Structure 1
């Protein structure tokens, strides 16, 4: 955005070429920046919708304790090389 704002690059196409991103992305980012400044460009991650946890908290605690107490070989976990 600074390169566009300062005139170091002329337009979305040149910015896309210089920074090796899609021209459409540059346009989207520029419009967001113009509307809300740098804060508008911050990526806010949200959790993905999907299946619930495969194991419950109690089983997870047992698993983590086993991982802390034993080696993979002791737990019969084969390593692939």
Structure 2
């Protein structure tokens, strides 16, 4: 398993109340969020972000009603929007 830092995000269309990350930037490469979800769920790669000078794991979580997976950060002392605080591309 390799570890990768997510350095930027691209938001997709949302409904105004929620945010949807459509893609992420890792180094100079761009990946669709669905590909990152697949790698996380398979245990192929680990992804993380820097937030408030700490390294936080990115995880895939299943949304209740749609059963679609989305990217968020591991629970802890940081708000779930930490991933959305990254630069946009």
Higher-helix-fraction structure: 1
TM over 0.5: no
Determine which structure has more spread, i.e. the larger CA radius of gyration. 1
Higher-strand-fraction structure: 2
Give TM-score, length-normalised by structure 1. 0.24
Give TM-score, length-normalised by structure 2. 0.23
